[in-house]
Amino acid sequence: MKEKLDLVRGSGNVFRDFGDPNADLEQARAILAAKVISVLDRRKLSVRQAQKLTGVAASEFSRIRNVKLDRFTIDRMITILGKLGQEVELTVRIQPRRKRSAQEVRQVA
């Protein structure tokens, strides 16, 4: 491979980097889903076992495992984590968005 590649530093939010209009929401859901998956993995729980433990449908755990998160609100994900015995603490920071340079915009497109 002799082709020279440009290295582009991401923003820390892949959804924003690819222009998703709801990037912050998608990032938050993805982080919470990753936490649900890590609890299931750490405790070696199948989706059926998780359903018995929490009362949350096995199909919802399957959707989370398959990263089909469009049906989940942030509060629903937090509720599921609570039912898995996790304490969730959120920190919200609001600030003006950083404007991307013309070079960053070109490299993303």
CB 29 within 8 A of CB 77: yes
- 50 is written with which tokens? 């998780």
Domains delineated in the chain: 22-85 (1.10.260.40)
Q: What is the pLDDT of residues 25-79, one digit of tens each?
A: 999 999 999 999 999 999 999 999 999 999 999 999 999 999 999 999 999 999 9
Report pLDDT for 26.
95
Report pLDDT for 36.
98
Report pLDDT for 7.
83
Distance, C-alpha 92 to centroid of its chain: 16
Distance, C-alpha 9 to centroid of its chain: 20
- Torsion-angle region of residue 55: left (phi > 0), alpha (psi -120 to 50) or beta? left
Mean pLDDT calculated for residue range 9-29 = 91
CA 79 to each of CA 14, 36, 62, 72: distance values in angstroms, whole numbers, following the listed order = 25, 11, 16, 11
pLDDT bin (cut points 50, 70, 90) of residue 8 is: confident
- The pTM for the full model equals 0.79
